[in-house]
């Protein structure tokens, strides 16, 4: 909402994003991120923009109520539910999921993003991702499981040593009693979820939800029969994957071979 208000006053004043950036000390792309709600205004941005655009205090008033999150706006609702969930189950087919990522691996993902993120944005997202992992050690402990495609363990994001560190990080997390990690071998002929990754939650109110994420954002599935189908798919995936002990042996072998 703040971003929409900023854009309204900027356009009413006949000023470009680049022009406003010259007053507030931001680049054109950074101003655009504030207007899209992807970046929080910092420093004297709000006060300077309010005066420059003739907003007569409207931006300052809105800025006082601004809710700042380190997550993208489309991910906030999921992050809030995840932090309190009693059970979390993830199937990943592209990269190691954020909850299992080491710092170097996560940074490599953000650095590789296109269009490129600003250095400040990379650091903010990295801190948020690592902080999110605290849910694994929360008391009471949530029940957490992962099914990872084998090829996610072999893409050397960040380089060979970063990947080895990532694999060792997965093995360490897998030792926690509330966490089970399984690998879906590439050689497996049958596969219950070729339509993509998923996250299944049991909320703190014991309500079941599914969350599906794509390049442009994510959405919840809460209604039957789609919700039941996703839970059934995940159950079959776990049966098709290597068991946790076999999976740990495979991850350890991949790490040692690097």
Phi, psi for residue 130 in degrees, rounded to 5? -70, -35
The per-residue pLDDT for 70 is 61
- For each of the domains in the chain, give its residue range(s) and CATH number, in order of start: 2-64 (1.10.260.40), 73-257 (3.30.870)
The per-residue pLDDT for 77 is 82
The per-residue pLDDT for 67 is 65
- Cα–Cα distance between 178 and 239 in angstroms, integer? 19
Say which residue the tokens 């004297």 belong to: 44
The per-residue pLDDT for 37 is 79
The per-residue pLDDT for 224 is 94
The per-residue pLDDT for 121 is 84
The per-residue pLDDT for 134 is 93
How do beta strands 87-92 and 143-149 pair? parallel
In this prediction, the residues of the chain whose per-residue pLDDT falls under 70 are 67-74
The per-residue pLDDT for 74 is 58
């Amino acid at each position: 909402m703040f971003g929409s208000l900023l854009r309204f006053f900027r356009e009413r004043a006949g000023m470009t994003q680049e022009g406003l950036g010259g007053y507030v000390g931001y680049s054109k792309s950074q101003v655009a991120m504030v207007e899209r709600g992807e970046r929080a205004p910092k420093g004297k941005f709000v006060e300077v923009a309010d005066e420059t655009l003739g907003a007569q205090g409207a931006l300052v008033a809105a800025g006082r109520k601004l809710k700042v999150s380190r997550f993208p706006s489309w991910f906030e609702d999921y992050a809030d539910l995840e932090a309190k969930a009693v059970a979390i189950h993830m199937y990943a087919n592209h990269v190691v999921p954020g909850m299992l990522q080491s710092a170097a691996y996560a940074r490599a993902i953000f650095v590789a993003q296109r269009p490129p993120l600003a250095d400040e944005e990379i650091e903010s997202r990295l801190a948020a991702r690592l902080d999110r992992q605290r849910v694994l050690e929360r008391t009471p402990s949530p029940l957490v499981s992962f099914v990872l495609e084998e090829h996610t363990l072999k893409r050397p994001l960040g380089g060979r040593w970063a990947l080895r560190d990532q694999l060792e990080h997965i093995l360490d997390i897998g030792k926690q009693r509330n966490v089970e990690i399984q690998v879906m071998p590439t050689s497996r002929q049958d596969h219950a979820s070729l339509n993509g990754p998923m996250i299944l939650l049991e909320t703190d109110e014991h309500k079941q939800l599914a969350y599906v994420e794509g390049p442009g954002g994510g959405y919840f599935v809460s209604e039957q029969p789609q919700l039941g189908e996703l839970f059934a798919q995940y159950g079959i995936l776990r049966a098709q994957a290597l068991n946790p002990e076999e999976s740990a042996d495979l991850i350890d072998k991949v790490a040692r071979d690097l």
